[in-house]
Amino acid sequence: MNCSRCSAPIGNGLRFCENCGATAVSATHGTTAPSETKKWVMIGIGGFLALVLVGTVASRFVSHAKEPTIAEAKANVTPPESTPPLAKAENADFKPLTVEQKDAFINEGWTFNIPESEVEIVAAFGKPDQLNRQKVENKHTPGQMDEIVDLEYKGLRVGLYKVAGAVNGDLIEVVVIDPKLPIQYSLLAGASADRITKLLGKPSEITPEGSWIYSDSMSGFHSVTFKVADGRIQGVQWTAPID
């Protein structure tokens, strides 16, 4: 055994150096004291733990970097409508339409596509709940029998005039009752009847059944009719002449 401090030989069985009083260690262990060994072991363990901690923090940082920030997440979310579209329309301040705007609405006031072919109408809206056909004589060609096709859906009816042998036809009637089908200026079923006069003025005619009729200013043949009950629009009907 040797002294850990002065390296003097120490007899077997002695734990302290008789020369300086230091703790004895085995010569095969070198001159490093157990306390020093423990110190380096602890430093090594601490370094390992530090590397693990740094790696964990780094991985979390990378994963969070891939996630959107709160501001980005909110920017990608479409806020719900706090006010229904109909209520917004009721509260909106609409100016009276010009003569040109009024005539355009009377001719075609719906804002969704209605094809002018029976096949395309069925392709767009599906099989109708009711389908009626009526033969009519052509006004310009005596003896030529054309056809009026009436396709009726829940909340929508389309009348199509087809000249004999033609694939496409002319829209002669469009009736919209479903409030989900868009109409210009929100003059749709459920809206206040006061909105009609604010936009279109006084009707050309009001029937006892509650139909408010407006005719175009040019020919008077095209018309739009509002079915009104209890101060509300129940449905809108556009009618075009058969030519």
Q: Which range of residues forms the domain containing residue 171?
A: 85-239
Strand partners, 25: 2
Question: What pLDDT score does 71 carry?
Answer: 32
Q: How far apart are the first and last CA of the chain?
A: 126
Residues 50, 108: one domain? no
Claim to verify: residue 128 and residue 180 sit in the same structural domain: yes
User: Higher model confidence: residue 212 or residue 13?
Assistant: 212
Split at pLDDT 50, 70, 90, the class of 175 is very high
Q: What pLDDT shows up at residue 242?
A: 87
CATH number of the domain within which 182 lies = 2.60.460
For residues 55 and 99, membership in a common domain is answered with no
41: tokens are 């072991």
Residue 19 near residue 8, CB atoms below 8 Å: yes
Pair 4, 22: CB distance under 8 Å: yes
Angle at CA 127, nearest 5°, toward 124 and 129?
Answer: 125
Whether 72 is covered by a domain: the verdict is no
Write down the pLDDT at residue 218: 85
**168 and 217 assigned to the same domain:** yes
For every residue of the chain, which 3-state class applies, written as one string? CEECCCCCECCCCCCECCCCCCEEECHHHCCCCHHHHHHHHHHHHHHHHHHHHHHHHHHHHHHHHHCCCHHHHHHCCCCCCCCCHHHHHHHCCCCCCCHHHHHHHHHCCECCCCCCEHHHHHHHHCCCCEEEEEEEECCCCCCCEEEEEEEEECCEEEEEEECCCCCECEEEEEEECCCCCCEHHHCCCCCECHHHHHHHCCCCEECCCCEEEEECCCCCCCEEEEEEECCEEEEEEEECCCC
Q: What is the distance between the alpha carbons of residues 126 and 148, in angstroms, rounded to a whole number?
A: 19
pLDDT at position 109: 97
- Cα 106 to Cα 181: distance, rounded to the nearest angstrom: 17
Q: Say if 205 falls within a structural domain.
A: yes
pLDDT range class, residue 7, cuts 50, 70, 90: low
In a domain, 80, yes or no: no
Asked if the structure places residue 24 within a domain, the reply is yes
Confidence of residue 106 (pLDDT cuts 50, 70, 90): very high
User: For 10-14, 20-24, 34-38, which range has the lowest pLDDT when averaged over its residues?
Assistant: 34-38
112-163 confidence digits (pLDDT tens) = 999 999 999 999 999 999 999 999 999 999 999 999 999 999 999 999 999 9
Q: Structure pTM? A: 0.63
Residue 131's closest CA among 149, 117, 145, 118?
Answer: 149
Average of per-residue pLDDT values in the chain: 77
Q: How many domains in the chain?
A: 2
Quick one: which of 134, 116, 110 has its CA closest to 183? Answer: 110
Domain identity same for 96 and 15? no
CA 103/CA 109 separation, integer angstroms: 9
